Chain A
Amino acid sequence: MTGLEHAQKYWYPVAMLGELNDGQTKNTQLLGTEISVCGSNEESVTVSSAGQLLAVQCQYDHVWTTFSDDPYPLFAIPEAEEPGRRFVPCGVVRVSCSPLRAVENFLDIAHFPFVHTGVLGAEPHTEVYKYDVQIDEKHDEVFATNIRFFQPQASKSAEGSIETEYIYRVPAPMAAILYKTCPPKPEAMDVITLFVQPIDEETCDVWPWMALYDDTSTMADLIQFQQLIFVQDRSILENQLPRKLPIDPGHEIPTKADLTSIAYRRWLKKRGAYYGALEKI
């Protein structure tokens, strides 16, 4: 199976439900193929490619589609059912990089003090403490826990600096879910996800989505906060060489802080998720 054939077996976000209007067609691209999204809500939306209708489902405020007749199921986010959370689709950011590089960057905390200076990190608090990474065998997901990091402004709802706790899930090659300390509700965790639409192997549309406990910030403020973070990440992602993710060890040199990234690359390789990956140097 080629990397493309493997990638075609997953569901991908192709639009935000709120951005669609009746009578208008959104033309976009998925895995190198032109597609069209029509309709405006869960009942009416269709996705087609070269005149053929594709399977559609609406989840997490987005429209998802797949090229497969027998796709892997779309991953579950149980927190999406929890009452009291605010669901925040943040729009889209186009990035000229491999979809896999975009996910890997989302799993990386060591860059916070340098790329998100004064917000998600700040010198001299640069140390990445020991954390744990496993493969969750039951769901076949990468799972990183016990991550702690000093953050000056961890979220819109944070008042001043806090030590934040992070948990990451990678439920599909082009999606990642972050659980992080929720400043107004210490017993719960905020959910921030990165849904990636692979345009082609070296271009992606990134759809951040959040499920937060925050009753005070305005929607616009929450979206703006997250958009700022992703625009900062884009300045990195568009300057990594090579543009595809080197999936074999040896081309890039990781350290202990990169345990999640190492596990992610191994997990991609094991399942043959080579779309957007550089296999041989």
Chain B
Amino acid sequence: MTTEPIGLAQDLAPKGVMRAQIGHADMAIWRSTSGVISAWENRCPHRGMRLSHGFVRGESLACAYHGWHYDCDAKCHYIPAHPELEPPSTIRPAIYSVVEKAGIIWVNTAGTATPAELPDRLLGLRTITMQCDLSTAAHAIASAAQTNAALFNGSVNDINSDQTILSLANPNGTDGICILFQQPLAQSTVIHVLAHDSYSQNELIAISRWCESVRREAERIMQSSNKVEPAK
């Protein structure tokens, strides 16, 4: 299993909880009040409640169902139904390796998270979910970049060998935006968009709108190819 980008660090504020999926792995990512980030299997060991529905209290995540408290090491330290009880140390959800780098949250569900190398001076712009597979999303992005001379010069580079990170140069040929792909499920793709810090506010808005139009186009391509399939 590789290290996957699952979100922008700026979208997970202190006391925030979010859900992410990579393949069959359903996970809860949360940030404590002091800023410590954790990524766990999204299943409370007690009765299976998704921990991404929980709420942060100080340095603990409390499950939404019976309020069991887990600390940043995933150890359960408080069971409200038995306030006097010291919970056994075996009660802990499965934990995943998580790191933040270049404004991105990276998770590895089967080893130590080692983020990809990215160009300097990128800032998180937004995360978008597309109802299509990864290759349809990548194609839609590449062809849309060719036709938008105001934002990009048309050159699309793979940053890594498995083509899950693309960089699009700006009209001057220097660093533009960087798109990180995450494939939670076969039929959906999440992209995390980073933009160079030299873009103006208006350009960032234009890029954000461009991303939306790419999503619609990718989903349209996916739908029409799905319609063809049963005829085979």
In the complex, what residue of chain A is closest to B42 when comparing beta carbons? Answer: A241
Chain A 226-249: CB-based contact to B (< 8 A → 1; otherwise 0): 000000000110011110001000
Q: How far, in Å, is B84 (CB) from chain A's closest CB? A: 8
Interface residues on B, range: 20 to 34
Asked whether B119 is an interface residue with its Cβ less than 8 Å from the other chain, the reply is: no
B49 touches A123 (CB 8 A): no
A255 touches B48 (CB 8 A): no
B48 touches A110 (CB 8 A): no
Most buried by B among A110, A123, A240, A257: A110
B85 touches A110 (CB 8 A): no
Note all chain B residues with C-beta closer than 8 A to A235.
53
A253 touches B81 (CB 8 A): no
Segment from A40-48, A111-119, A176-184, A205-213 that makes contact with B: A111-119
A257 touches B43 (CB 8 A): no
A239 touches B83 (CB 8 A): no
A239 touches B53 (CB 8 A): yes
Among A245-268, those with CB < 8 Å from B are 246, 252-258, 261
Note all chain A residues with C-beta closer than 8 A to B42.
241
In the complex, what residue of chain B is closest to A261 when comparing beta carbons? Answer: B47
In the complex, what residue of chain A is closest to B80 when comparing beta carbons? Answer: A126
Which single member of A108, A115, A240, A258 contacts B48 (CB below 8 Å)?
A: A240
Q: How far, in Å, is A117 (CB) from chain B's closest CB? A: 10
Which single member of B46, B49, B50, B53 contacts A254 (CB below 8 Å)?
A: B46
B53 touches A253 (CB 8 A): no
Report Cα–Cα, A255/B198, bound state, in Å.
56
Report Cα–Cα, A184/B85, bound state, in Å.
36
Which single member of B49, B64, B65, B82 contacts A255 (CB below 8 Å)?
A: B82
In the complex, what residue of chain A is closest to B92 when comparing beta carbons? Answer: A253
Among A94-129, those with CB < 8 Å from B are 108, 110-111, 113-115, 123, 126-128
Asked whether B14 is an interface residue with its Cβ less than 8 Å from the other chain, the reply is: no
A240 touches B47 (CB 8 A): yes
Which single member of A113, A239, A256, A257 contacts B49 (CB below 8 Å)?
A: A239
A127 touches B81 (CB 8 A): yes
Chain A 26-45: CB-based contact to B (< 8 A → 1; otherwise 0): 00000000000000000000
B47 touches A126 (CB 8 A): no
Asked whether B26 is an interface residue with its Cβ less than 8 Å from the other chain, the reply is: yes
A110 touches B66 (CB 8 A): yes
Which single member of B45, B50, B80 contacts A123 (CB below 8 Å)?
A: B80
Among B47-94, those with CB < 8 Å from A are 47-50, 53, 64-67, 79-83, 85, 90-91
Chain A 132-158: CB-based contact to B (< 8 A → 1; otherwise 0): 000000000000000000000000000
Note all chain B residues with C-beta closer than 8 A to A114.
64-67, 80
B82 touches A236 (CB 8 A): no
Note all chain B residues with C-beta closer than 8 A to A241.
26, 42-43, 48, 50
A236 touches B65 (CB 8 A): yes
Report Cα–Cα, A241/B28, bound state, in Å.
13
A242 touches B80 (CB 8 A): no
Note all chain A residues with C-beta closer than 8 A to B53.
235, 239
Report Cα–Cα, A258/B65, bound state, in Å.
13
Among A72-113, those with CB < 8 Å from B are 108, 110-111, 113
Q: A126-B80, A241-B26 are in contact. Are A253 and B50 (CB under 8 A)?
A: no
B81 touches A236 (CB 8 A): no
Which single member of A128, A246, A261 contacts B82 (CB below 8 Å)?
A: A128
A252 touches B80 (CB 8 A): no
Q: How far, in Å, is A17 (CB) from chain B's closest CB? A: 34
Which single member of B45, B50, B64, B81 contacts A252 (CB below 8 Å)?
A: B45
Q: How far, in Å, is B209 (CB) from chain A's closest CB? A: 34
Report Cα–Cα, A252/B76, bound state, in Å.
14
Q: How far, in Å, is A62 (CB) from chain B's closest CB? A: 28
Most buried by A among B47, B53, B91: B47
In the complex, what residue of chain A is closest to B90 when comparing beta carbons? Answer: A253
A113 touches B80 (CB 8 A): yes
Note all chain A residues with C-beta closer than 8 A to B26.
241
B65 touches A111 (CB 8 A): yes
- Told that A126-B80, A256-B82, A258-B47 touch, could you supply 4 new A-B pairs with CB distance under 8 A? A113-B80, A114-B64, A239-B53, A253-B45
Closest CB pairs A-B (n = 6):
A126-B80, A257-B81, A128-B81, A110-B81, A239-B50, A240-B48
Q: Can you sample 16 A-B contacts with CB below 8 Å?
A: A111-B66, A114-B80, A115-B65, A236-B64, A239-B49, A239-B50, A240-B48, A240-B65, A241-B48, A241-B50, A252-B45, A252-B48, A254-B47, A255-B79, A255-B82, A257-B82
Q: Which residues of A contact B (CB under 8 A)?
A: 108, 110-111, 113-115, 123, 126-128, 235-236, 239-242, 246, 252-258, 261
